[in-house]
Amino acid sequence: MMSPVPIVERSILVFAIWAVLGFLGLGIFLEGLKQASWLLSSVGVLVIVLAFIAHIIVNGVFNTGFSPGETVLGIGAYGLLGLVFVASAAGGFLTMTDYYSGLTLFGVLAAGFLAYLLTRHGLRGAFSRFHIKPMTERS
């Protein structure tokens, strides 16, 4: 049985990564929206992607995957932000820069998620993560 110390160290590292890189990227992204600069918003997206990559590296060092809580938080935040983006676009509250910045954010995050699944589990394994087997095929 593994000692809980590496789990605590991993949690602290992941928290530090997202506290620094995640919030920095979010701040740069929001500043890009405020300044109506797609380029600045894209730099914010890049910093968020760097946080995601750093999280994957920490998972590799500690030989773990994403915890269920991390997975729920990530997918939930993506869904909530997507809902806000769609509502803002439908309400006519977005400028074209905001629109392109949002599409860049969601497109890059979706592509990164798919790339992670394919590199971590392979094509068949990635599909199996979402495919529900009928009761007759379960082992």
How much of the chain is in helix, strand and coil states, percent to nearest 5? Answer: 85, 0, 15
- Tell me what the mean pLDDT of segment 106-111 comes to: 92
Does residue 138 surpass a pLDDT of 90? Answer: no
Place of tokens 């000692």: 3
Overall pTM > 0.75: yes
What SS3 state is found at 116? helix
Give the model's confidence band at 1: pLDDT under 50 very low, under 70 low, under 90 confident, else very high: very low
| 81-94 pLDDT, tens digit each | 999 999 999 998 88
